[in-house]
Amino acid sequence: MLDNPTLNQNPIKINRALISVFNKTSILELAQTLHELGIEILSTGGTAKTLRDANIPVTDLSGYTQFPEIMDGRVKTISPLVEGGILGLRDKHSNDAESNQIQWIDLVVCNLYPFSETISREDCDLALALENVDIGGATMIRSAAKNVGWACAVVDPADYSTIIDELKSNGELSFKTRKQLSTKSFGHTAKYDAIIHNYLKDEILSEDFSITFEKHSEMRYGENPHQSAASYKVPGNEERNILNATIHQGKKLSYNNIMDADGALACVREFEQPACVVIKHSNPCGVAVGNDLLDVYTRAFNADSLSAFGGIIAFNRTCSRAVAEAIISVFMEIVLAPSFEPEALEIFKKKKNLRVLEIGKFGKRTKKLEVRNVDGGLLVQDVDTKILTKEDLTVVTEKQPTDAEIDTALFTWKVLRHAKSNGILIAKDNTTVGIGAGQVSRVDAV
């Protein structure tokens, strides 16, 4: 390690590139450009085959290092000839490189095995997960990202056009570009390691806590117009949610839309019976369950039709034509459901500003964490998913409730979980009559 390191910030010429990618999007265009510019391309396994099939000359890395790929491909890029070629400082280590027959590798194009996609598979076990942990690729990326003065790491196909344009225009890569891509590369490997760590650890609330997300979309503003905002999603998460819903029509979802729609989805998922939830400002204002979805919607909406105006409607069953006809008679922001009858979608087109979200099959709820920011840190708890049953209730009055009244009581607890505390709820026949959320006084709330 150097005591007084310096950093080259001049443009660098690319003479040799190493390409080893799992995601081969746009790789042929980049490789073809490198070849046309006279840049030697080193590659491995499937990537080398892809390039050769496109008639792009490539040097096998095993031929370059004079060491074969071994152990079912587990060892193919880890070599002093590779890491030295990437990490060496051109103005200080030339003698070391020459004496050890190391040639400089100026550009590393690499992305990693899809670990997050692997662990989302139903058949994934520990052995399969570990088999999809990328070692060599992460090492090359970090090496090139560290040696930003003399090398460039590229992990995202979206950045290939930047490399192509700059090399075609200038014949070199600027330090500004190398620095930007170095930062992105370290973020790429950091996210990758965090996903692996979270998968392997046994305790949810462990001694150290790391979370990683990837940007889903930019937003015009946050909760208020003066706040900037963006949405982020969990990598590889296949569970049905608002962020991966199909939006059939309507404007792009805002910050508040997503917050409210997420609350509506969380509430309606509580019920096994056909259910309808109407949400306003993240709080339920009308909820009902029953056998007929149109009847359920009518009861939920009429529970507080004034508050429901401009709100969000959520169903846990396919939205039918009849239900759609009823919905378009009033102004609503969003309607969401697992699916929609084609006729219902046609009816919704009459309200072009109505956002229609198809969530897909809900599936089983998985254990999640609830995270809140506080100054200096985070508060973390597991999400409240406890299901109350008749056996959890104790009758403390002389009058014994009927089975129907007990069913309604259990219904109210499911709804009240989604109202801000202190929450007060009155219901009858599995329909909310009144919901008071965020009441500061328990005594005066009712």
Element (H, E) at 432: strand 431-436
- Within 312-364, strands assigned E span 312-315, 334-337, 355-358
- Within 141-213, strands assigned E span 152-154
| DSSP strand pairing (334-337 vs 40-43) | unpaired
Measured CA to CA, the distance from residue 435 to residue 60 in angstroms comes to 68
CA 235 to chain CA mean position, Å: 4
- Measured CA distances, 89 to 5, 137, 261, 297 (Å): 10, 21, 53, 69
Q: Which of 100, 109, 176, 432 is nearest to 283 (CA)?
A: 432
Q: Max Cα separation, the chain?
A: 94
Measured CA to CA, the distance from residue 383 to residue 393 in angstroms comes to 22
Cβ-based neighbour number of residue 340 at 10 Å: 25
Residues forming the active site: 146, 281
Q: What is the DSSP letter of 236?
A: T
Measured CA to CA, the distance from residue 401 to residue 217 in angstroms comes to 50
Measured CA to CA, the distance from residue 341 to residue 239 in angstroms comes to 22
Measured CA to CA, the distance from residue 435 to residue 304 in angstroms comes to 9
